[in-house]
């Protein structure tokens, strides 16, 4: 049984996949080998962090792309 990938590994794979341009959740899932629901959940997280944004959203398809500008890291006290 293959080793379980960490959240960081999954998110890195998703971001690398989006380097080539806009993709649907299913496209990302197929190219990365990650379950579509897992991809969807991580894209929600990545949108919240400002790394990815949703280009199109309907009940049947969601299209995402990398954010043009990466957010600045937050300072911790």
Contacts (Cβ under 8 Å, ≥6 apart) of 49: 71
pTM: 0.84
Average of pLDDT values for 1-20? 91
Q: How far apart are CA 33 and CA 47, in angstroms?
A: 21
The answer to whether the beta carbons of residues 48 and 9 sit under 8 Å apart is: no
* Closest to 14 in 3D by CA, of 25, 4, 3: 25
Tell me the Ramachandran region of residue 33: left when phi exceeds 0, alpha when psi lies from -120 to 50, beta otherwise: left
- Domain spanning 7-66, CATH class: mainly alpha
30-69 tens-digit pLDDT? 999 999 999 999 999 999 999 999 999 999 999 999 998 6
């Amino acid at each position: 049984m293959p080793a379980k990938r960490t959240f960081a590994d999954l998110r890195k794979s998703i971001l690398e996949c989006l380097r080539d341009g806009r993709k649907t959740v299913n496209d990302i899932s197929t190219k990365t080998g990650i379950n579509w629901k897992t991809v969807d959940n991580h894209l929600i997280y990545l949108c919240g962090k400002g790394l990815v944004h949703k280009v199109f959203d309907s009940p049947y398809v969601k299209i995402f792309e990398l954010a043009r500008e990466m957010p600045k890291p937050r300072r911790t006290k």
